[in-house]
Amino acid sequence: MIPPRPVPRTGRVSLWRHLALLRDDLLSAGPARLYRAWMAEFRTPFFRSYVCNDPALIRRVLTERPGDFPKSRRLGGGLAPLLGGSVFVASGAVWARQRRIIDAAFEGGRLHDMIPVIAAAGRAALDRMTPGVVEVEPLTSHVTADVIFRALFSLPIDHAVATELFALFRAHQRSQPVVALSALLPWPGWLARPQSRVTRATAQQIRALIAGLTRARAGDIAAGSAPDDLATRLMTTPDPATGRPLGADEVADQIAIFLLAGHETSASALAWALLLLALDPGAQDRVAAEAAQLDETPDLTALSRLRFTRDVLRETLRLYPPVPMMVRETVRREMFRDRLLPRGAQLVLSPWHVQRHERLWDDPDAFDPDRWQTEAGRTAARAAYLPFSEGPRVCPGAGLAMVEGVLLLAMLVRAFRFSASDRPAVPVAHLTLRSRDGIFLAVAPRT
């Protein structure tokens, strides 16, 4: 079964038409050859960009020499109003210090402790579900936001502040193109890139609400009454190297990225997984059969038996990676596949293309969860599967995201049957991979 995908561009277009395509639809702006090329070069009057699909080059950039290929300042600047200097956009010593503290804080929140949190959010989502034709992206955003709020602040999504933040994050994402035109033009590093009025306003409101939550939590910590959740651990965990914790602004930066990445990426994956199962009723019935074994208080042992459900989520992340492209830049001249790259070149590492690459995957556009139990599928995954990035900057919440996705998918499919509607889903890249006009599915209680 071939699920929806953008039609790649064929033929030549002008530079300005290409820049407009990049801004409006990043996925279909690239030519069809990107699905079989190891490397491609794109030139503009202002900089050079290289798409790197060669697994050896990806390992060099992300794993072997990550310090030589920091995150692109062109794209990182667009996220600064919301994310500040968070671990997602920082580089060098600042990033290393933040990551040490975050890794130590995550170690304190073991996965089995998160399962009751995820299950509680899942049960609340089932109560909100109504039969009929439903737009599932708001549903999945709601439930994954509920999970991350419970994990961070021990607050369910129906708490007033949590509900307001959820609405603001949705508005902020819709206002923010994945590639702003200002990022494609020369721009002095000391000058902030222009943002839309909605982007600036929603970022300021989100930051203000987060600051209020962290101030309240600091008071609880001082009084000895703070719950042992992720926010408390972020605010109290010292840097293993220096012994100093994060400052107040740094905590707000990290919470902003956790709220954004922790619910938007999981929501994207869960929505596409429901669509894929709606298009493949046989696979959906297999997930429902596995999920029927779950009790009301599952644990990691029970989740480990949801093998096919896990493979469905893996295949969803392959076909619809929540972060479809990552951009790094060179700090010196580099030789890639006999090409001399100048300093300041933009390196595009594209899970979207690598995970659909015709030379790496069998039947790359097909939805086939069973591929994960074949040697060919496992070989391809070792070379070309990076939905959470890889190397030192791999997503610190990857393990949590997989547990969350598997459990929520099992709970939803156990309770409801999802069927395709007559409204097609077209993937486009915002801050995460979403459908241009939503994902609408027919939902009925499973008897």
pLDDT score at 84: 80
Residue 2 lies in a domain: no
pLDDT score at 30: 74
Conformational region of residue 4, where left means phi above 0, alpha means psi within -120 to 50, and beta covers everything else: beta
Residue 3 lies in a domain: no
Q: Which of 146-150, 295-299, 320-324 has the lowest mean pLDDT?
A: 295-299
The answer to whether residues 284 and 277 touch, using CB atoms and an 8 Å cutoff, is yes
Full residue range of the structural domain in which residue 128 is found:
15-445
Residue 169 lies in a domain: yes
- Asked whether the predicted pLDDT for residue 25 surpasses 80, the reply is no
Q: How many distinct structural domains can be found in the chain?
A: 1
pLDDT score at 24: 59
pLDDT score at 108: 55
Amino acid in position 2:
I
pLDDT tier for residue 78 given thresholds of 50, 70 and 90: low
Amino acid in position 64:
E
**How far, in Å, CA of 211 to CA of 215, rounded?**
6
The β-bridge partners of 420 are 441
Residue 9 lies in a domain: no
Residue 4 lies in a domain: no
| pLDDT, tens only, 264-296 | 889 999 999 999 999 999 999 999 999 998 987
Q: What is the CATH number of the domain that holds 303?
A: 1.10.630.10
Residue 8 lies in a domain: no
**How far, in Å, CA of 306 to CA of 289, rounded?**
10
| pLDDT, tens only, 124-175 | 999 999 999 999 988 898 899 899 989 988 888 777 777 787 778 777 766 6
pLDDT tier for residue 18 given thresholds of 50, 70 and 90: low
Closest CA to 380 of 62, 60, 55, 61: 55
pLDDT score at 249: 84
Burial class (CB in 10 A: 0-12, 13-18, 19+), 420: middle
- Asked whether the predicted pLDDT for residue 109 surpasses 90, the reply is no
Over residues 97-105, mean pLDDT = 89
pLDDT tier for residue 314 given thresholds of 50, 70 and 90: very high
Residue 365 to residues 355, 368, 420, Cα–Cα distance (Å): 9, 9, 19
**pTM of this prediction?**
0.90
Closest CA to 425 of 218, 272, 205, 210: 272
**How far, in Å, CA of 42 to CA of 288, rounded?**
46
Q: What is the 3-state secondary structure of the chain?
A: CCCCCCCCECCCCCHHHHHHHHHHCHHHHCEHHHHCCCEEEEECCCCEEEEECCHHHHHHHHHHCHHHCCECHHHHHHHHHHHCCCCCCCCHHHHHHHHHHHHHHHHCCCHHHHHHHHHHHHHHHHHHCCCEEEEHHHHHHHHHHHHHHHHHHCCCCCCHHHHHHHHHHHHHHHHCCCCCHHHHCCCCCCCCCCCCHHHHHHHHHHHHHHHHHHHHHHHHHHHCCCCCCHHHHHHHCCCCCCCCCCCHHHHHHHHHHHHHHHHHHHHHHHHHHHHHHHHCHHHHHHHHHHHCCCCCCCCHHHHHCCHHHHHHHHHHHHHCCCCCCEEEECCCCEEECCEEECCCCEEEECHHHHCCCCCCCCCCCCCCHHHHHCHHHHHHHHHHCCECECHHHCCCCHHHHHHHHHHHHHHHHHHEEEEECCCCCCEEECCCEEECCCCEEEEEECC
Closest CA to 416 of 442, 444, 393, 384: 444
Residue 6 lies in a domain: no
Residue 7 lies in a domain: no
